[in-house]
Amino acid sequence: MFNNRSRIKELLTSDKTNYQTTVMGWVRTFRNNQFIALNDGSTNNNLQVVVALGSLDETTIKRITTGACIKAVGEIIPSLGKGQKVELIANSVEILGDSDAEKFPLQPKKHSLEFLREIAHLRFRTNTFGAIFRVRHALAFAVHEFFNKKNFVYLHTPIITASDAEGAGEMFKVTTLPLDGTAPKNEDGSINFKDDFFGRSTNLTVSGQLEGELAAMAFSDIYTFGPTFRAENSNTARHLAEFWMIEPEMAFSDLEDNMNIAEEFIKYIIKYAMDNNREDLEFLSQRLEEEEKSKPQNERSEMGLIEKLEFVVNNDFERITYTEAIDILRESNHNKKKKFQYLINEWGIDLQSEHERYLVEKHFKKPVILTNYPKDIKAFYMRQNDDGKTVAAMDILAPGIGEIVGGSQREERLDKLTQRMNEMHIPTEELDWYLDTRRFGACPHAGFGLGFERMVLFVTGMGNIRDVIPFPRYPKSASF
């Protein structure tokens, strides 16, 4: 039986010694034919397995290589060496899986993140990615814990859908029709989807929001947490073609309620990771500190990773309107000295990440919630304000990343919603099911979307979003 093994993290954090146990894991290093540094993924710290000279035959010794998987049985004793409280004196060592030392790409040395992306199937075995994905797990667990405590219903919205919640049009098509040009066509030359699997044009979802609103009109509070897809040709450190989104929808909520729960939510999941993954975050903080030494002084973070996370958890987010933000940006020295790539000259423009990061990192030096955006740069479902120019939208901007949350109070007034859809050329007949929520028992409601990978990026201090998802999908890349 294999499941009588002890996890290395439990052994290293316990004060118990002088007992027999079994460990299994992967060899990090093997020194002097005696000392095996063994890791099983439960922690970045290795357990030292001590093999008595002469206790193993020459063939077995040669098979204990970096990357090999072994089982060791022996006694846990207090360690005499530095760096660990305990070590295992092995009575027996069994090779569970060999690793060719000359071919295994993860030798005990520093590897670049670019190189590790090329071998994403193996990068989990490094300390950096071990820490990242344990933190990712903690954040995901905290998401469910937060909403469960507040009696939200977890809703699975469809991955294949016929609607485009954002009106963006940048979607991945889903079809069983032939791709060789022989698919049936309409008289105007467009594809006739009548014979397709679903009998209509379908795509991978860009958001579960619209379906989430349907459930909120019955359960009051729901949330989704699932994969979403954007066919944007964006080769940036902040964009993925496949990513995970958390989208709560709340009946009987306005814009202020929306901001309050979003801020509380962000603080909760960060604190959960800090409480439960301190060791991993300290490792990532040290890694970030080393990385920043190579940057010019003016590009270095003013706070360390742990300090930044504590600051976010312990301080209120700054709340300002879009109009106030435009005034701050327009009057800033950065804008006057033309240091922005996109200069701020007029009200109504869509803010770029450089503007968002200026507000967060230079001006306020804390997370910022921007509200009341111009309606012309926002989606059709956002509630129109009485000024006729803005909508009850809110974005949360985070240091180092920019936008991390986007949300709004939803337009519950049927006439206002259909008028806005007509203005934006969104066919009301295709979303008739959605409009039913306004016809039958409409109520004020609100919601937001949080890009999970951007949150993981923020909490881990990594610089590229491709390093916080197991198998990144981006233009010209769908490996593994």
- Dump the DSSP string for 113-179: HHHHHHTTTTGGGSHHHHHHHHHHHHHHHHHHHHHHHTTPEE----SEES--TTS-----EE--S-S
The phi and psi torsions of 465 (rounded to 5 degrees) equal: -65, -20
pLDDT digits over 217-234, tens only?
999 999 999 999 999 888
* pLDDT of amino acid 49: 97
**Coil, helix or strand at residue 274:** helix
* pLDDT of amino acid 367: 94
Q: Are 394 and 408 in contact (CB under 8 A)?
A: yes
Q: Are 357 and 402 in contact (CB under 8 A)?
A: yes
Rounded-to-integer distance, Cα 480 and Cα 356, Å: 34
How far are the Cα atoms of 12, 48, 134, 227 from residue 8, in angstroms, in the given order? 6, 10, 15, 32
Rounded-to-integer distance, Cα 131 and Cα 44, Å: 7
Task: State which of 14-18, 133-137, 288-292, 297-301 shows the largest mean pLDDT.
Answer: 133-137
* pLDDT of amino acid 402: 84
Once rounded to an integer, what is the mean pLDDT over residues 273-285? 97
* pLDDT of amino acid 200: 92
Rg (CA), the chain: 27
Once rounded to an integer, what is the mean pLDDT over residues 193-205? 93
pLDDT digits over 41-63, tens only?
999 999 999 999 989 999 999 99
Name residue, tokens 């029709």: 177
For the chain, what is the total number of helices (H) and then of strands (E)?
Answer: 14, 16
The fold for domain 8-108 equals OB fold (Dihydrolipoamide Acetyltransferase, E2P) (2.40.50)
* pLDDT of amino acid 1: 60
Once rounded to an integer, what is the mean pLDDT over residues 374-387? 96
100, 105, 104, 129: which is closest to 115 by C-alpha? 105
pLDDT digits over 404-451, tens only?
999 999 999 999 999 999 999 998 998 999 999 999 999 999 999 999
By DSSP bridging, strand 221-229 and strand 153-154 are parallel
Q: Is the dihedral of CA 198, 199, 202, 205 positive or negative?
A: negative
Query: What is the separation of C-alpha 76 from the centre of its chain, rounded to a whole number of angstroms?
Result: 38
Per-domain boundaries in the chain: 8-108, 125-171+206-467
Query: CATH number of the domain at 125-171+206-467, out of 3.30.930.10, 3.40.50.720, 3.20.20.80, 3.40.50.2300?
Result: 3.30.930.10
**Coil, helix or strand at residue 36:** strand
Rounded-to-integer distance, Cα 253 and Cα 250, Å: 6
63, 80, 75: which is closest to 27 by C-alpha? 63
Q: Is the dihedral of CA 455, 456, 460, 466 positive or negative?
A: negative
For the cut 90, the answer to whether the pLDDT of residue 177 exceeds it is yes
Task: State which of 56-70, 75-89, 295-309 shows the largest mean pLDDT.
Answer: 56-70
* pLDDT of amino acid 309: 95
Summary mean pLDDT of the chain: 93
Asked whether this chain's domains 8-108 and 125-171+206-467 adopt the same fold, the reply is: no
* pLDDT of amino acid 338: 93
For the cut 60, the answer to whether the pLDDT of residue 168 exceeds it is no
